[in-house]
Structure 1
Amino acid sequence: MTTKISESLLEHLVELERILLEPSVRQSVNRLDQLLSPNFHEISANGLMFNKAHIMSRLPSEKVPQFYNQSFIGQMLSADIAQLTYHAAYRHSARAPLHYSIRMSIWKKVAEQWQLIYHQGTPCPEFALQYE
């Protein structure tokens, strides 16, 4: 049974999603280890599946793409598991075309900290970007 997510938790999880895009966090094995669950899995927009070990070996040396995310919706799947869905657009350089996707993340509260346990990106039609 799903329940409504509190506004403060939604804001916190959106902040964590955006923190994961910061170069300093992506390059920090310690910070990634804190944010990603030991059981983390991702299905990328091109259908590839990655686990935490792969992400930890790849992200610290990967160039961070230009990334926009917006239209976040959250719901509680249980008392300690939250789901976020949102629209994302990214490109690898300022002159590259944007790639659009719908993203879904599942966060689990472990002790007093939220960790990402699952993330998926699915390509979607172009949408209007809302610059904040």
Structure 2
Amino acid sequence: MPIELPTEQLLRDLEMRLLDPDFRRDTSAVLELLTDEFLEIGTRGRHYDLVSIVKEMSRGRSQPVVVEDFEVRELYPTVMLCTYRTIGATGRAVYRSSVWVKRRGRWQMSFHQGTPIPDPWSSTS
């Protein structure tokens, strides 16, 4: 089912906020965008719940990334799947997927996963 552009743009904007290193250090702002039952599976396979991801974000270790191929799919009228690729300053590429749910009129991320993209020129790929 096609997604209305305003919803797609809104979710892209929310994702961009959560990728912004300055925004990530603002615990109260981050908490507004994540559900209480939030779960993340990081690029190294580590699981994070709401408390642990907020703590990790507040440490300020993240760097700016370039976002490519951003897409939104409707799973249900109040549930959206965002997929995209990020490329960090080191050239490391990661496929990302996020599930957003709309509750009480606002969108919040419920799940996020980052999957490293193997370097095609690496002998270990």
Query: TM-score, length-normalised on structure 2?
Result: 0.88
Q: Which amino acid aligns with 2:58?
A: P
* Equivalent position of 2:84 in the other structure: 86
Following the alignment from structure 2 to structure 1, what is the Cα–Cα distance between the partners of residues 119 and 83?
Answer: 16
1:111 matched to 2:111: no
Give unpaired runs (5+ residues) of structure 2: 121-125
Query: Deviations 1:85-112 (Å, cap 9, x if unpaired)?
Result: 1111124xxxxx2211111010000111
Give unpaired runs (5+ residues) of structure 1: 92-96, 128-132
Q: How well do the aligned residues superpose, as a CA RMSD in angstroms?
A: 1.6
Which of 2, 6, 10 matches 1:4?
2
Following the alignment from structure 1 to structure 2, what is the Cα–Cα distance between the partners of residues 57 and 123?
Answer: 22
Query: Deviations 1:37-63 (Å, cap 9, x if unpaired)?
Result: 101111111111111110111211222
Following the alignment from structure 2 to structure 1, what is the Cα–Cα distance between the partners of residues 2 and 119?
Answer: 28
1:21 matched to 2:14: no
Query: TM-score, length-normalised on structure 1?
Result: 0.83
Q: Which amino acid aligns with 1:110?
A: R
* Equivalent position of 2:93 in the other structure: 100
Deviates more, 1:31-40 or 1:16-25: 16-25
How much does 1:125 deviate?
4.2
2:61 counterpart SS class: coil
Equivalent pair of 2:19/2:64 in contact (CA under 8 Å): no
Query: Percent identity over the alignment?
Result: 26
